[in-house]
Each structure stands twice: as structure tokens, then as C-alpha cells.
Amino acid sequence: MLSKKRASLLPLIAARFESVVEESRQALKAVVGSAAPLTEGDLRSLEAGLSRLTGKKVSAEVSVRPELIGGLVVRAGDLVIDNTLKSRLKDMKTLLGS
């Protein structure tokens, strides 16, 4: 790969490899953005709910994103759940604008 100047593809290949391994283990990684830090209990509850929803063992990686104003956004595989105040305000603006 290096001799053909394809080193830039390594992160994509690594990410795909990781997702294939997770699939084989019936596991799924969720990337969660939260307006405020989650407690350990909140995190475990979120993972349990996502596991029930997807039928896979979910492990969540959380980052605090104050720009969301409130709530959280979850990305797990093809599933995206946006339950943020920012998106609700945007929806309300769209509704009132039409």
C-alpha cells in the first residue's frame, strides 16, 4: 500500500475491519454526543436500551458537545437518533417558517 501511495486509505480500512469484527461478535459501537456529561448509570441505561433496539451488544463512546444545547444524538451503525434541543428548535423554526 505504501509503495502505491495508498497510505491515506489505512484509516478507512482499519475502521471497516473493526466493524466487520464487531458484526461477527454481534457487537455494535455507538457514538454519542451529549450536551452534558452522562453519569455511569445513564450510560449503562443508554447502552441497554440500544442493545434491545438493535439486538446487539452496544458499547457507547460519549463526547460532550455543548453546542447541542440539550439532549443527545446517537449514531450506531445505520441508526441515527437525534434527540437534541438544537434539532427540535430547528424543526420548530422550519414549521413556523412555512
**pTM value > 0.85:** no
Q: What is residue 84's predicted lDDT score, i.e. its pLDDT?
A: 94
Q: What average pLDDT does the structure give for the chain?
A: 88
Q: Are 73 and 81 in contact (CB under 8 A)?
A: yes
Which band of pLDDT confidence, cut at 50, 70 and 90, is reported for residue 15?
confident
C-beta separation of 50 from 60 below 8 A: yes
* Contact call for residues 37 and 43 (beta carbons, < 8 A): no
Q: pLDDT at residue 90 above 80? A: yes
pLDDT of 98 higher than 70 = no
Q: Which residue in the block uniquely carries the three cell numbers 454519542?
A: 32
